[in-house]
A and B are shown apart, each in its own frame.
Chain A
Amino acid sequence: DADVTQTPRNRITKTGKRIMLECSQTKGHDRMYWYRQDPGLGLRLIYYSFDVKDINKGEISDGYSVSRQAQAKFSLSLESAIPNQTALYFCATSDPTSGSIETQYFGPGTRLLVL
């Protein structure tokens, strides 16, 4: 987990507030991902980026935006937070040099509560 860091680790915010979750990695991987995890629903992909100039929507991108500031940094923003965005958020990276296999490396997660 130390190779992929997320800040903050915990966040409480109010409905309507804009917040940003940050992810940094020292693995040198080009590919980065944002997931959310909810009980009973598993991990769901929000956005992913295959390099600095590439941003793609995942399964549940509505209400979220991302920014890939550098190879090592990928931020997730909630423009106007709502209570059903309360979840555990994970950043992950993967290495395309390993061929087509998408083994992913996850950060420790950010627990977000929207009141």
Chain B
Amino acid sequence: SQKIEQNSEALNIQEGKTATLTCNYTNYSPAYLQWYRQDPGRGPVFLLLIRENEKEKRKERLKVTFDTTLKQSLFHITASQPADSATYLCALQTGANNLFFGTGTRLTVIP
């Protein structure tokens, strides 16, 4: 069966450290992989997209990697800040153009 797993339901890190979130998938062949941020009581907000033929993408303090052999994406937040505390969702897009979402990882950055 198709499955998208995000490494842990919750992750706590100290301010200033790098947070690394993992998204693993099985039985998908995604053309794109996206990361979204969701704050409590709000809808998800798009952060970054990486294509299947790209290894790495960066945006300010964010970095995403995509390994189609391992079927895994890593999402890094460097120099983390308490304002980065949120739930982060990965989403796979297949050729059918719909998105399939993981369950999310709740990140807490401790001052």
CB neighbours of A103 from chain B (8 A): 34, 46, 49
How many B residues touch the partner, as a band?
20 to 34
- Sorting the interface of chain A by its residue count into under 10, 10 to 19, 20 to 34 or 35 or more gives 20 to 34
Asked whether, in the complex, the Cβ of B32 is within 8 Å of the Cβ of A102, the reply is yes
* Cβ of B11 under 8 Å from chain A: no
A102 and B92 alpha carbons, distance in the complex (Å): 10
CB-defined contacts of B41 to chain A, threshold 8 Å: 108-109
A-B contact count (CB 8 A): 51
A42 touches B93 (CB 8 A): no
Contacts of B44 in A (CB 8 A): 43, 90, 104, 106
Contacts of B34 in A (CB 8 A): 103
Q: Identify the A interface with B (CB < 8 A).
A: 1, 4, 35, 40-45, 48, 58, 90, 92, 100-109
Which residues of chain B have a CB within 8 Å of any CB of chain A?
4, 9, 31-32, 34, 41-46, 49, 89, 93, 97-99, 101-104
